[in-house]
Amino acid sequence: MAKSLLKEQHTESLNIKADFPLLVRQPSLVYLDTASTSQKPQCVIDALVSFYETSNANAHRGVYKLSNKASNCLEDARSCIASYLGAQSEQEIIFTKGTTESLNIIAKSFLKNRLNSGDRILLGGAEHHANIVPWQVVARETNSVIDYIPILEDGSLDISSIEKLISPKTKIISIAHTSNILGTTNAIKEITNIAHKYSIPVAVDGAQSVSHQEIDIKELDCDFFTFSGHKAYGPMGIGVLYARSEYLEEMSPFLTGGGMIEEVNLDHSTYVSGPQKFEAGTLSIADAHGLATAIQYIQNIGLDKVANHERSLTEYAEQKLNKIEGLNLIGPLSNRPAPIFSFTLDGIHPHDIATILDDQNIAVRAGHHCSQHTMKRFNINATIRASFGIYTTYSDIDALVDGIIYAKKLFNK
C-alpha cells in the first residue's frame, strides 16, 4: 500500500491525540511505549475525579445513599467489562490489581489445589515473566513440571507440538494472546480446541490484546482471561480476571479479610460465592469506574476502527523499518498481527539507541521486556521496542525512523 494512501486512510479514521491531556501538554513527545502502559484520555481522568467528588464511599459496606451509589458504580463497571469480554455473567469478573495478580490467583487459588507430584503445566514459549514465575512457584511447591511450546523463527507458536507435549498429567495451559515482544497473536481458539479434547483448562494473558481487537470469551472458549487496565487506556492499579463460573466456585480465596466472608467464627470462617470471594478489603472503586470508562471510550471509537488504524500503522512501520540497513526485526517481517516492534541494530546496544531517541523526545522501551527466555531463544540480550496505540500517528513513526538513522550516523554504522 502506498505511503500517501496509508496516510490518507489514517487521517480519515483516527486523529485523536487531542483526547489525551499528556500528549496535548507535551506536543513534541513521540510516545511509542503503549505496550508498557497506555496514555489516558480526558474522559478517564474525569471519571476518576468525578467519583471522588460525587460518589466517594465504600462499596457494599453501608445502607446509606452514598455507599449504595459507590456500590452501583462498582457493579456497573463489572457489568460493562463482562459485556465487553462476552462473559456469560458479571459474576465471572473479578477485579484485581492487574494481569500479574490475576495470573497469581489462577496459579495459587485454582491450579495448586489440583496439582500432585509429577503433574505438568504447559506454557507458551514467549511469555511475560508474569505468566511464568507464578507457575514456577506452584510447580516447586507441588513437585510439578513445566513444559514450553516452542517458538518458531517468525515468532509464532509451534502449534503442531502441543498435542505431543500434552500428557494425562497436564493440568493447565497458560498462554499470552499477544506477545509483548514479538508482535504475534496466538491462535487461542485452536489451542483451546486441542486442550479441551483432553479436558485441560486454558488461561489467557490478554494484557496486549484487550484494547487492540475484539475479545469474545465464548468464541475463544478459554477458561480464564486476564488483563490490566493501564494497558487499555484505563488507570493503573486495576485489572480483571475472568474465570469460568464452574472453576470460580472451586477456587480458594487468594486474600482473606473484610468483604469476602459469609460468617466468621472464632475457629473457622465461611466465604461468599462469586467474585467477591477474591476481592478482600476495599477495592479501588474509582479505578474500576475509570477502567469501565476507558472500555466505553474504545467502544465509542469502534474496535473495527481501532484495528484498521493500527493495521495501517503497522504496515507503514514494516515498510520503513525493513529498509534500514543493519536493523533486525524480531518476529514476523511482514503482516505483523499486533502493533509491537522489537528490533536490534548492528553494533549499537539497545540502551544506547533508546537514550539517543529519548534526547529527541521519542519514548521507546529497551531491555528484555520481562521476557528473558525469549531473548535467549533469539540469541540476544535485549531489544528496542516500539509499540503503538490509538493515538499513534504516521508522523510518530517517521520520527522514530529518523531517530534511528540519526543514531546510526552517531555510531558511524
Quick one: cell of 132?
511464568
318-341 CB burial, b ≥16 within 10 A, e <16:
bbbbeeeeebebbbbeeebbbbbb
Per the document, the length of the chain is 413
Q: Which of 57, 10, 15, 22 is nearest to 233 (CA)?
A: 22
Residue 145, strand partner residues? 120
Taking the C-alpha atoms of residue 26 and residue 342, their distance in angstroms, rounded to an integer, is 25
Q: Are 228 and 357 in contact (CB under 8 A)?
A: no
Q: For residue 401, what are the contacts with CB-CB under 8 A and spacing of at least 6?
A: 320, 321, 324
- Grid look-up 496514555 returns 39
Neighbouring CB atoms inside 10 A of 316's CB total: 19
Q: What is the largest CA-CA distance in the chain?
A: 73
Quick one: cell of 154?
517468525
Taking the C-alpha atoms of residue 231 and residue 177, their distance in angstroms, rounded to an integer, is 14
Q: For residue 404, what are the CA distances in angstroms to 129, 259, 324, 362, 413?
A: 28, 52, 9, 10, 11
Taking the C-alpha atoms of residue 94 and residue 78, their distance in angstroms, rounded to an integer, is 8
As annotated, the active-site residues are 370
Taking the C-alpha atoms of residue 122 and residue 144, their distance in angstroms, rounded to an integer, is 11
Taking the C-alpha atoms of residue 116 and residue 118, their distance in angstroms, rounded to an integer, is 6
Give the type of residue at 285.
I
Q: Are 121 and 170 in contact (CB under 8 A)?
A: yes
